[in-house]
Structure 1
Amino acid sequence: MKDFLYSLLNGVFEREISNENKQILRNLINLKAVSEHKGKFYLNNGFVCGKLDISSNGTGYLIAYDERFKQDLIIENKNLNNAHFGDIVLARILRTKKSRVNAKVVQSLKLANETSLVYTKQFGQAVLGVSLKTGLSIALKATQKSLKLLQFGTLLKINNVNNEIIEVIGNINDPKSDEKISLATYNKNDKFSDECENEARAWGDVVDPSMYPDRVDLQDLDFVTIDPVDAKDFDDAIYFDEKNRQIYIAIADVSEYVSAYNSIDNEAKNRGFSIYFPHKSVPMLPRALSENICSLKPNEPRLAFCFKISLDENLNVVKEDLIEAIILSKRRFNYDEIDEILKGNQKSEISWIKPLYNVTKILRKRRLKTAFDFRTNELRMSLDDDEMIKATRFETDTSSHQLVEDCMLLANVAAAKRIRKGVFRNHTPPDLKKIYNLLDDLATLGLEYVYESDLANLIRKIQIKADEMGIREEVDKLIIKAQKKAEYASENLGHFGLGFDRYTHFTSPIRRYSDLILHRLLKANLKKDEKFYNYLLLNISNTCVSLSELEREADKVAYDFMDRKFARWASENIGKIVKCYVVENQNILIAKLDDELKGARIFVANYYAPLLSEIYIQIIQADIATAKIFGKVYKDV
């Protein structure tokens, strides 16, 4: 929609407008916001389109799609016209004597969410709903008598068009409501329709190999899965034929069970990704598929889509065969077990693991000559029976993680070579401005470097120095922050961070819809079915844009949940002094908890400290509604 609204500034022919956007065009014409001139449609003077932001005091800020507006337009609360945070809106510019351009919302063209989450709170004699996203109070479409029967803090899902109550979620004071809050805040659902569940269960629990005579039978090969210790679904398995230097990467063949455009597929497309909480997951597919018939369980025949990567004596890839197969995983390993095997502390009945690791080590070293190697710590949280924080820890990349990652990269690159258009995972180079800002930030840490056109080489030099100073992980986070986010697109643009000319996602169709689409495209390609291939590409560009948005939302849901758990912990520790380090110091100082518990963000007003500096903060407030913790500096080090 953004591209369409932007095109109206310079004029657009009707034949260039998609059916979806033609409906919006008719609406804009009815609102007298668009006119036709010589066959082109233009946005009329005095109107502006953009995305709406709303501050905690209720003032709106319109991020205009018209580049002539260098600053956000101000929209006073009375002029919001019931528009919500994140909506794409049409606004009319107001004539005022104020120095900043003011506007009034005419209509929300696209709702950020069809629903909002509020909690009940008494204001004087009235009970209103308070938005968890904005903190603004909302008059609900319900009688005061019925609202006063509810316990204060009751969580309600409301319709964003008329503020009508749709569902009672729980109570904001109950820790067991956090999961529902995080899901509802981003309009996510943890339940599947009966139709989806019945479709999934209809496939049963067992794969009968005799029913698939056209598949290549690889059950004799010693495939294994390697996953986190608490994994429920296993969508990749590997095997290494050391004698012939062939790496097999077998991926759950979800596309055999989920046809394009059926009810499960539509639901998976709307979800886009599985969401992972510390205590459970919200899967993209019904569990009868994701944790059963599709999952590559040990000692169970399973359908797989498999790449056989053949290497020469110099470990160069010489052939990449794609096989519709049946496999039988011989063993389920977790990462810790593989690490112990690689260290020599534990024996394994699988003889090829160490030889494969030695191969992937060489492949990794070769790849990192043109790619980046970031040391990132993934925050893991464990909860007690009351769903309060019990402990946190950082999970670091180990040898076992690297072994699996490099195998998956081989398969992803091989898949990308086979499609001309479809679903690519692109990562474009960073903007120069962000790189210069990064160099400024690094200079404050004693890492003084000047810009080089060979960014990979520059970043490697910075990382070597950061290693010597003992701040590698922190510096890597700053480097990652300066880069653009990887996104899905129908056309290939390469992957800057990984150093690949072509790259896609092939290895996780149980938890990523992008991979499921790709599997279908690859099967059509294998069968030389051009008609079906093109059928699968219908609206693919919009699907890729949607997937990038859904990916960010899935991440936000997971982060929101952990932020809420941290806020509940902080609410029980008001006045406590904790050790932190500074992660942001521009508009407001943000510090990360680095004490017995780790990872919580704490906001500190009216204070400045250098990035990564260690400070002690006293917790002064915790807002469970917005999932924020506030503190004041007790002392810096």
Structure 2
Amino acid sequence: MQTKDFLKQLCGGLREIPKKHHSLFYALQKLDAISKKGKIFILKEGYAIGELDVIRKDLIFLKSFCPTHQKDFKLMKAFKGIVSGDIVLVKIISKSTRVRLISILYCPLTYTLVYLEKIKGKICALELKSTQEKPLQIPLKARQKALNSLPPHTVMKVDVRNGEILEILGVLEDERIDEKIILCSYNFKEEFSSSSIALAQSFGEDVYTEFYPHRRDLTHLPFCTIDPSDAKDHDDAIYFNSKEKKLYVAIADVSEYVSKESSIDREARERGFSLYLPHKSIPMLPRELSENICSLKEGKIRLAFVWEITLTSEAKIKETSLFEAVILNHYNLSYEQVDAFIEENKTENIPQNIRESIKSFYPYAIKLFTERLKKGYTFFGDEIKLELDEYTSLKKVKVNLEKVSHHIVEEAMLLANIQSAKLMESLNIQGIFRIHEAMKEEKVFELLSSVQSLGFEGKNKDIHSLITSIQTWAKNKGIEKEVDKMIIKSQNQALYSSENRGHFGLGFESYTHFTSPIRRYSDLLLHRLLKDHLRGGKKLVYLSEGIESLCKNLNESEKKIARAEMEYKDRKFAHWAKVHLGESLKVSVIDTQFPILTQALEKINSARIVLRDKIMCEKFDIFDIIIEEVNLAHAKIYGRIND
């Protein structure tokens, strides 16, 4: 258990204190911050433990780990040398959101990124991640003469405690350092430890059926994968037997290779997810697993965890079964190949048995999709993909719309995820679920008010009828994509939870993630639990230990991954805009509050541009603007309306 995880669990209550954290626990006892309720050790009321967010020296917030603290606290007075990310103990000032710092408990961050800028004749180091108009200055352990010898806008990794320069990454104008900036800023590790690499390599590259007599041999069934054309980590494969109406959803059996608390498991748990950049991925698992023996590669025998789902003619679930198997992926298909086959009957050498499987399942996928929309929702789906050149400069932006191939894969995966959630619920232990709580009433009214200002005339019905009527109106008006984004923004965030609370967006009473264990730790954890259940359930208690804390960490990791992927795109857009200063661009307004925020509709689709004009406008108004300025440090683009 990591220090941060220990402190989070202590805020909720712990029965036993892990030996490695005894000294920290005793320190908290000496500060009189621990109470004991029965056999449970817990943080005393009136105290909080949490993570600091340093905006300025005089503006510091604390995000509490305590489950009962919903709002952030403001620090009254700071200790010298504290930085964002520090974990501290504070005393809550009675009946307020202000707190007094008692002790620094843990300092997970040892460095930050800065860039050099000349201010009033002096070379200063400005914090790269600062979002303030005046970025935070970091004192450097370096003379001005040495700093003057470096190019302008040099980006450096520095020790946050003493200002020592640890590494020079390059200059902001060089696009090749964008990747380094992202990895350093979000503390992502690309390389795995030598012990994890050695363990991954020990499994080899091939699977031999005779070594697994307890598994069902399905190598004769024509499974296929449907993935992006450049995919290397194939998590899932499907096969549909049209005569028996049986759908087989085969998922890479990562849990066979990654046992709890192995070196690979510890590193995968810390990463939580794979990070996908336009030109490469930073995998959750060593590539020896993620792109080799775990990946369901064409023509390779692989271990799989399989749901066998028998359907009725109306696509209702008749019977299900989960089991361990050995499969053979007979063909790797891209989404584009499946779309061309279904829509235009272009076979492109796709084997006959694969064609039959896909084509026969497609009508069932449509029925499943139609049925779930009676309680759930669907939103305008387009994927923005950046194509980079050899120097990682932006060549072009591709907008990929969801088509029939996505329906086929999605409905098959949803079936497997739902059945996994139902089985998880039956185990009577803390499990792992993907939850999405219903919209809050005030958010419904805000959404209704926003769309009414755009011309929607519907009344406040039940929530499902209201949202679907808003979507129908938006589609007829030609603003489906924009309004769908407003609806999504009004909803709660989907989260991982140890308790099932249903999934509002999908309309399911229970839901989880089962189908991507190569790139999501949640799925790997679920596989372990379900597999142990099938084997008698002797390790279920052990395997489910710490799930509540783990779910919170996964939620944080998921947000961090999303921010990192978005920032990388923003940096590529900013570099492109720097080259195209003075050029015109068509944009749509997405936020009318000054400064007005817009989104590019061409050339760099989805890039956000801040307008300098002080004008009255409405959401989704379209303007031709001139790219006026670019801030490469903060990846911001500024424009002015083209008169």
TM over 0.5: yes
C-alpha deviations, 1:394-437, integer Å up to 9, x for none? Answer: 22211100110000000001111111332111111121111111
Partner of residue 588, structure 1: 595
1:305 aligns with 2:310: no
Partner of residue 463, structure 1: 471
Distance 1:291 1:316 in 2: 35
User: 1:353: Cα distance to partner?
Assistant: 1.2
Change (3 A) 1:68 1:374: closer
User: 1:155: Cα distance to partner?
Assistant: 2.5
> 2:485 aligned to 461, 472, 477, which one?
477
> 2:445 aligned to 436, 449, 453, which one?
436
Distance 1:439 1:36 in 2: 47
Provide the secondary structure at the position in 1 that maps to 2:642: strand
Distance 1:603 1:455 in 2: 34
Structure 1 unaligned residues grouped into runs of 5+: none
Contact kept in structure 2, 1:85 and 1:112, CA below 8 Å: no
Provide the secondary structure at the position in 1 that maps to 2:423: coil
C-alpha deviations, 1:216-261, integer Å up to 9, x for none? Answer: 1101111000001111111100000000000000011111111111
Partner of residue 275, structure 1: 275
1:571 aligns with 2:578: yes
Letter in 2 for 1:224: C
> 1:383 aligned to 385, 388, 392, which one?
388
Partner of residue 133, structure 1: 129
Aligned residues, how many?
620
Distance 1:105 1:290 in 2: 44
Letter in 2 for 1:490: S
Contact kept in structure 1, 2:73 and 2:99, CA below 8 Å: no
1:424 aligns with 2:433: yes
Partner of residue 333, structure 2: 333
User: 1:142: Cα distance to partner?
Assistant: 4.6
Distance 2:241 2:307 in 1: 13
Of stretches 619-628 and 113-122 in structure 1, the one that deviates more from structure 2 is 113-122
1:12-411 to structure 2, matched below 5 A, reads: 27=27, 34=33, 42=44, 52-55=52-55, 59-62=58-61, 73=74, 79=78, 81-85=80-84, 87=86, 89-90=88-89, 107-109=103-105, 113-123=109-119, 127-134=123-130, 135-142=135-142, 147-347=147-347, 348=350, 349=352, 350=354, 351-411=356-416
User: 1:337: Cα distance to partner?
Assistant: 0.7
Report the TM-score, using the length of structure 2 for normalisation.
Answer: 0.88
Distance 2:275 2:478 in 1: 34
Distance 2:414 2:381 in 1: 18
Q: Percent identity?
A: 38
> 1:495 aligned to 486, 495, 503, which one?
503
Distance 1:541 1:608 in 2: 47
Provide the secondary structure at the position in 2 that maps to 1:598: coil
Change (3 A) 1:499 1:212: same
Provide the secondary structure at the position in 2 that maps to 1:352: helix
User: 1:586: Cα distance to partner?
Assistant: 3.5
Change (3 A) 1:75 1:627: farther
Partner of residue 609, structure 2: 602
C-alpha deviations, 1:256-287, integer Å up to 9, x for none? Answer: 11111111111100111011111111111111
Change (3 A) 1:70 1:228: closer
Distance 1:29 1:162 in 2: 30
Partner of residue 556, structure 1: 563
Provide the secondary structure at the position in 1 that maps to 2:464: helix
User: 1:102: Cα distance to partner?
Assistant: 7.7
Contact kept in structure 1, 2:626 and 2:642, CA below 8 Å: yes
> 1:546 aligned to 553, 557, 563, which one?
553
User: 1:488: Cα distance to partner?
Assistant: 0.6
Change (3 A) 1:425 1:142: same
Contact kept in structure 2, 1:276 and 1:558, CA below 8 Å: yes
Letter in 1 for 2:543: L
Distance 1:562 1:519 in 2: 33
User: 1:150: Cα distance to partner?
Assistant: 4.1
Distance 1:41 1:517 in 2: 29
Partner of residue 446, structure 1: 455
Distance 1:331 1:484 in 2: 39
Provide the secondary structure at the position in 2 that maps to 1:599: coil
User: 1:160: Cα distance to partner?
Assistant: 3.4
User: 1:578: Cα distance to partner?
Assistant: 1.5
Provide the secondary structure at the position in 2 that maps to 1:173: coil
Letter in 1 for 2:82: A
Distance 1:507 1:278 in 2: 23
Provide the secondary structure at the position in 1 that maps to 2:158: strand
Partner of residue 613, structure 1: 621
